[in-house]
Amino acid sequence: MFRKKKLTGSYDRENQIPVIRGSICTGEKVAGFKDIHTGKFTEVMVVRGDKDMQEFLGRYGILAEEIRKEW
């Protein structure tokens, strides 16, 4: 009767790249998109584990090889 809504999103593939930002001090990871021209980072969600990472990848149709990691 009640289903969880499946969220899908999109991003500007020509001007943005998917990025995982990690904190050296706390180990916290944040998934988002970085503008290739300005360097501005747009935070989408906090990544606490593999489940959150798979949700991020699935929501935006991203392959794991496409993601850059920044510290």
Give the residue among 10, 71, 15 at the shortest CA–CA distance from 44: 10
pLDDT tens for 12-50 read: 999 999 999 999 999 999 999 999 999 999 999 999 999
* Residue 57 CA to its chain's centroid (Å): 7
What whole-number distance in Å separates Cα of residue 52 and Cα of residue 22? 14
* Residue 71 CA to its chain's centroid (Å): 14
* Residue 62 CA to its chain's centroid (Å): 9
Name the pLDDT band for 1 (thresholds 50, 70, 90). Answer: low
Please give the model's pTM, rounded to 2 decimal places: 0.82
> Does the pLDDT of residue 5 top 80, yes or no?
no
